[in-house]
Chains A and B, each alone.
Chain A
């Protein structure tokens, strides 16, 4: 089964190489190879995760190895999903290398299947984690979309263009991707938090105990809530959205990793 993960990694790495070459040599067929190896990597990775599910008997999102692996799977999936609608090949040159690194990190961690801690033995485990992770991966992608947006916008405002920006999607497309990320990501995040809270109510006897992870996910949620509200109410677009997306992403990053490494608490699995 582990071999499947390695094959997936191999495919991701091939995709990474082609996407990096694509950054330098703007040829369509290079991108196509990158795209299809990413797709193949995603499929193999998905199968590997399913196998692990059957082998372990529980949803494999219970420790850092499994979490990182699942997160990179979601990112690959969401990026491929977005690519069906938008011409965002250039984004692959950032996202694919990063998800590959994330996956390498995942595979470098202990990966043996251990019996599940009693506290995690619940049908809430798949529901809570999958929602939270899909939400996170959507915001991961939107972070980079926002960076591209700000970069391109700055160029247009200042009337100075770097050669690479000619290959970016237009401001409107980047902004609309951000909007979509927001409208998909926010419900996932919300459901992730609610299901987590319900699970906490059952497992720990209290729906909300201001555990650092809970607190930070609430902060993240508030950031995105403000963003959505302002976009719909007073037309926050473009730069403001992009900045907020970046703030939100750092908040997620801290919630996901910072808590585990820095603070600890009920959610830390290390």
Chain B
């Protein structure tokens, strides 16, 4: 049975459309059941902020397209024609190539981002729970996880961080190693700070101190992210106690100058200090970086590094795509073996071969048989053979499950090209 994918992503649909077609986890069971009722037995829903895709397997994917349009337009309350513009349908090789690319982050907005693999895994698990996967999708998804793993270990496509926050954490780790127990001071309460600090928290940073010119705002942010607020006047004291500074105030002039940091470093007994200055205009005087054991990165430094990482990733993604191509080819060969069309004709060929050989042997022994009888014998044997084979073929056509296919191959001795040759020689 062909595997196919129907859906949209950030390349084909703008955010307004993607928002509309977002399928929340709660909605998945309902939607998949509906699709199942419409005859799309195997289906898996992958919905993230950048894509909504339905992986499915059925006899005629093109015909299934209409069912999708119906179901989805009803479900999302949109006009059917609308969907056509933004969606794509990929079948067979193109479908699983697409899934391989998606799962390994090669189809993501930020190439190589690692979250997508988790999302694909979740989608698959969810489908298993809802009982909407089947033999083919199982195979395709398991293969996908293998491919993604292989790409992760053989290329560096997801290796270096590319976001500003990710970059800052990477640098902090270069300086401090693990961030557990490290103290960070946040100056300013902007949105950038908030995002960055969440990343730091995720990486296990220890105490978070927050200071701001308006103390109330510091307090508010502190409540939100479980930090400790301090009045702005404590800045010097705080600088002695912490390991990292994340600064993003709206100040026109630098609030931290070389003199202050030099003084602080003496009090710190030269313990390293890392400044992440994401404010524009900058909060920390650039010359602070000249002080020993002090490391200062401003927003441009971080952007430049992340740009470099991004271009590294693009270079690596070429390698990754080569791996995908290779795996697609291998998988296609494997799937072809499951194809039942050739199997049926092979069965007929096989029995015809046996029938004609046996008949020939008899005719050679009895030279005196007349043409009329020969023709009758031909017809008789053919009809016997066909009557015997027919139920098997019907079974394959009806239920082409891999078990049946394997069984039939065994029954008719079609295991392998090489094996067949050996058997022939035996009989000959």
Are the C-beta atoms of A170 and B268 separated by less than 8 Å? no
A89 to chain B, nearest CB (A): 15
Q: Which residues of chain B have C-beta atoms less than 8 A from A152's C-beta?
A: 174
Are the C-beta atoms of A171 and B297 separated by less than 8 Å? no
Mark contacts of B256-280 with chain A using CB atoms, 8 A cut-off: 1 yes-contact digit, 0 otherwise. Answer: 0000000000001111100000000
Interface residue? A187 (CB, 8 A): no
Q: Which residues of chain A have C-beta atoms less than 8 A from B272's C-beta?
A: 171-172, 237-238
Q: Which residues of chain B have C-beta atoms less than 8 A from A170's C-beta?
A: 173-177
B302 to chain A, nearest CB (A): 9
Alpha-carbon separation in the docked complex, A166 to B160 (Å): 9
Interface residue? A225 (CB, 8 A): no
How many interface residues does chain A have, given as a range? 20 to 34
Interface residue? A34 (CB, 8 A): no
Are the C-beta atoms of B301 and A236 separated by less than 8 Å? no
Considering residues A159, A161, A234, A238, which has the most beta carbons from chain B within 10 angstroms of its beta carbon? A159
A69 to chain B, nearest CB (A): 35
Picked from B174, B270, B305, the residue with its CB within 8 Å of the CB of A236 is B270
Mark contacts of A146-160 with chain B using CB atoms, 8 A cut-off: 1 yes-contact digit, 0 otherwise. Answer: 000000100011010
Picked from B160, B268, B289, the residue with its CB within 8 Å of the CB of A157 is B289
Are the C-beta atoms of A172 and B177 separated by less than 8 Å? yes
Are the C-beta atoms of B173 and A237 separated by less than 8 Å? no
User: Contacts A159-B301, A159-B305, A171-B272 known; A238 to B293 CB distance under 8 Å?
Assistant: yes
Are the C-beta atoms of B297 and A159 separated by less than 8 Å? yes
Instruction: Select from chain A the residue with minimum beta-carbon distance to B297.
Output: A159
Instruction: Select from chain A the residue with minimum beta-carbon distance to B294.
Output: A157
Q: Which residues of chain B have C-beta atoms less than 8 A from A236's C-beta?
A: 270
Interface residue? B292 (CB, 8 A): yes
Instruction: Select from chain B the residue with minimum beta-carbon distance to A86.
Output: B177
B319 to chain A, nearest CB (A): 15
Interface residue? B1 (CB, 8 A): no
User: Contacts A156-B295, A157-B295, A238-B293 known; A171 to B175 CB distance under 8 Å?
Assistant: yes
Instruction: Select from chain B the residue with minimum beta-carbon distance to A176.
Output: B177
On A, residues with C-beta under 8 Å from B are 152, 156-157, 159, 161, 165-166, 168-173, 234-240
A152-B174, A237-B269 given; name 15 further pairs at CB < 8 Å: A157-B289, A157-B295, A168-B174, A169-B177, A170-B176, A170-B177, A172-B175, A172-B177, A173-B177, A234-B270, A235-B268, A238-B292, A239-B292, A239-B293, A240-B292
